[in-house]
Amino acid sequence: MKKAHILLIEDETHIAQGLIFNLEAEGYRVTHVETCQSARSAFEQLQPDLAILDLMLPDGHGLTLCREFRRASPQLPILILTALGDEQERVAGLAEGADDYLSKPFNLNEFLLRVAGMLRRSGWYHPEEKGAEPSRL
Ligand code: CA
């Protein structure tokens, strides 16, 4: 079964390391980048199944990336990570096409459940026991 490929854009190393460790433990493939520039090339080259996007990045704002990703890929699930209590950023993120958000610091289990839920809703996730079913169109 193909692993979901997650593009993680997060410049805070300790947060990124924790997320990578736990996402990989859940069976996902993770590509981690720390800048808008490397996020753009990774997005084009890898065509990820889901993007996790920090907003404050060293070379720009995550909302710009969110808008670009959404324009290029209407189906891509996008989860944004915002500063705690920053209502403006949450609203702006949703307005730019993000599907969901989490405020830092967040509960790890909630994070993993949201990722799983977004992948499921996006139609990427097909349980193996239903693998023989004809595809529904
Ligand atoms: Ca940051």
Whether the Cβ atoms of residue 27 and residue 128 lie closer than 8 Å to each other: no
Model confidence band, residue 1 (pLDDT cutoffs 50, 70, 90): low
Q: Could you tell me where the DSSP H helices lie in the chain?
A: 13-25, 36-46, 62-72, 87-95, 108-121
Q: Which residues surround ligand 1, an ion (CB under 5 A)?
A: 11, 54, 56
For residue 5, the 8-state DSSP code is E
pLDDT digits over 19-38, tens only? 999 999 999 999 999 999 99
In the reported structure, the alpha carbon of residue 126 is separated from the centroid of ligand 1 by a whole-number distance in angstroms of 33
Cα–Cα distance measured from residue 57 to residue 45, given in angstroms and rounded to the nearest whole number: 20
pTM of the model: 0.87
pLDDT of 137 above 90: no
Give the pLDDT band of residue 120 (cuts 50, 70, 90).
very high
- d(CA 9, ligand 1 centre) in Å: 9
Judging by beta carbons within 10 Å of its beta carbon (0-12, 13-18, 19+), is residue 14 exposed, middle or buried? exposed
Phi/psi at 114 (5° precision)? -65, -40
Would you state the pLDDT for residue 56?
Answer: 92
Q: What is the whole-number distance in angstroms between the Cα of residue 96 and the centre of ligand 1?
A: 18
* C-alpha 120 – ligand 1 centre gap (Å): 27
Read off the pLDDT of residues 22-78 as tens digits, 9 standing for 90 and up. 999 999 999 999 999 999 999 999 999 999 999 999 999 999 999 999 999 999 999
Distance 63 CA to ligand 1 centre (A): 12
